Amino acid sequence: MRLLLIFVAVALMASRCDRNRDTDSDWKIGDPEMSVKTEPLFPEREENDLVTIWFSAEGSDESLSLESIEIRFTDNSAVASLAAISAWYTGVVPGVPQRTLLATLESPGEKSTLKGEVTLGSGKNYFVLSFDARDDADPAGSLEVESVTLSFSNNASREITPSPGTPVIRFGKILRAAGQDGVDTYRIPGLVTTNSGTLIAVYDNRYNNSKDLQEDIDIGMSRSTDGGQTWEPMRVIIDMGEYGGLSEQLNGAGDPCVLYDRVNGNLWVAALWMTGSAPDKMLWWASQPGMAPQETGQFILVKSIDDGLTWSEPVNITEQIKDPSWQLLLQGPGRGITMSDGTLVFPAQFKADIGVKALDGGQYTCHSTIVYSSDGGETWNIGTGAKTNTTEAQVAELSDGSLMLNMRDDRNRTDKTETNGRAVAVTSDLGATWTVHPSSNSALPEPNCMGSLIAADITVDGQMKRALFFSNPDNKSERTNMTVKASLDEGVTWPEEQQVELFAPAGYGYSCLTMIDDSHVGILYEGVKELYFQKIKVDELLGNN
């Protein structure tokens, strides 16, 4: 028995040594390192370069080659959603174009070995792992690398174990790609889930360029009946055409906000339209006091009574809700809500001439507010301004029936202190009066950008709780690090363990959240000229509560 135990111990030691074994070769191979990008794995792209591996190699007796890379994924990884993995040698100087294929493995598994041969250089050598997802990959799936083992021609091997905090690789979908259907840029996402589980996504179709209104812009809509796995072809649901005998470039409609009436089963989409403003001007500046379409921006609505299959002609409600002295009134953008009592609420914003200099030098100030209907959309009303110098907002109902307005605060353009961030106010009387929330301008950093806020009743530790979910670029100065956060104390705190970063690179930064079902939060957000869709498990957002 003692001899057997000794034999087993020696065998285990040999196995451990074999993983990082050295030989009598003149080559010295350093410990490898690995980084994983915080970007989605898109089936719409054949190559997703998401993992980089590098190590030093020094020697002169003969050439040294890398002969295989073995990747192990954790047993909860969605490897069935992978079509292939490729390993590319990118040389000894990062950033210098060089791409030599080591191997491609189709239909990889939990343990995947890519075998080939690439001659290495003396110095720090870099490899990239590129992933190809199946067309039917689950946008809620993810991959977590457990270890990577490198094997060399001199019989040496090196193993990498990811450090704590290494990102998982998450699947996603490019819902709208730049140039698709003749549209240069897709922007301004809105997203809701109907009672039947249908996902309705809306957005700007910016045909000529990325410019805001005034331009040739229509409202597009995408529809999914399987939780975002597949999407029907895009449809244009708001197109003001050549109203007044003017070109489409002078009749743009944009910045959509989508609302689902959970009582009556109707969908509403609000958009901003103005006719005749020169395309070399921004509608933000061109719109003036007044009520006519040629004078000021118009608050228009379209409606669907069949789960988004067909849509009405636009209805103009500007006369109902705009003060003629205001320079501009518009919706969210993003999404509205149905309150527990059936009241329909759009987030909104207005711009009023107050004769004093605003933060950007104009003689006006802006206020976030709400537009609401207590009769299913037959008539509409508007609240008062929640805070000066706030614009794009989102609204959620709290557990006591009050409304929380989460606002883009334009003070963040100049104030980059520790107290900047999203402004937050609460109303119990549909916007007649507002109270500053304890988290205002302190709990949710932002780089002056639109953000998304939704509320949902979920089960936590056996009890039903009202949870808030929020998304925005989690960065004070740049639109990077798109992150989804959760709060279980109605927005007072947003713990770090209840946050998931989805997209680290810079993008245009707008996003919109929806509850896809009881277990998943869906998000539609902007890259650069594109819109990305992903799903996140609720229990992950809650820190596995």
* Residue in 322, 325, 330 with CA at minimum distance from that of residue 346: 330
* Residue in 340, 343, 360, 341 with CA at minimum distance from that of residue 351: 360
Tracing tokens 């039917």 back to the chain, one arrives at: 136
Count of C-beta atoms within a 10 Å radius of residue 218: 23
- The helix/strand/coil state of 55 is strand
Calpha distance 403→405 (Å, rounded): 6
Calpha distance 162→82 (Å, rounded): 20
Q: How many helices (H) and strands (E) does the chain have?
A: 4, 38
Give the helix ranges, DSSP H, for 128-173. Answer: none
Give the helix ranges, DSSP H, for 390-437. Answer: none
Count of C-beta atoms within a 10 Å radius of residue 519: 12
Annotated active-site residue in 67, 215, 295, 392: 392
Count of C-beta atoms within a 10 Å radius of residue 477: 13
Q: Are 344 and 259 in contact (CB under 8 A)?
A: yes
In the chain, the amino acid numbered 361 is G
H or E element in which residue 321 lies: helix 318-321
Q: How far is CA 302 from CA 79, 336, 366, 525, in A?
A: 42, 14, 26, 23
58 as an active site residue: the answer is: no
Q: Which residues of 129-162 are buried (b: 16+ CB within 10 A; e: fewer)?
A: bbbbbeeebbbbbbbbbebbbbbbbbebbbbbeb
Q: Residue 442 burial (CB < 10 Å; 0-12/13-18/19+)? A: middle
Q: Which residues of 241-271 are buried (b: 16+ CB within 10 A; e: fewer)?
A: eebeeeebbbbbbbbbbbbbbbeeebbbbbb
In the chain, the amino acid numbered 276 is G
Residues tagged active-site: 392
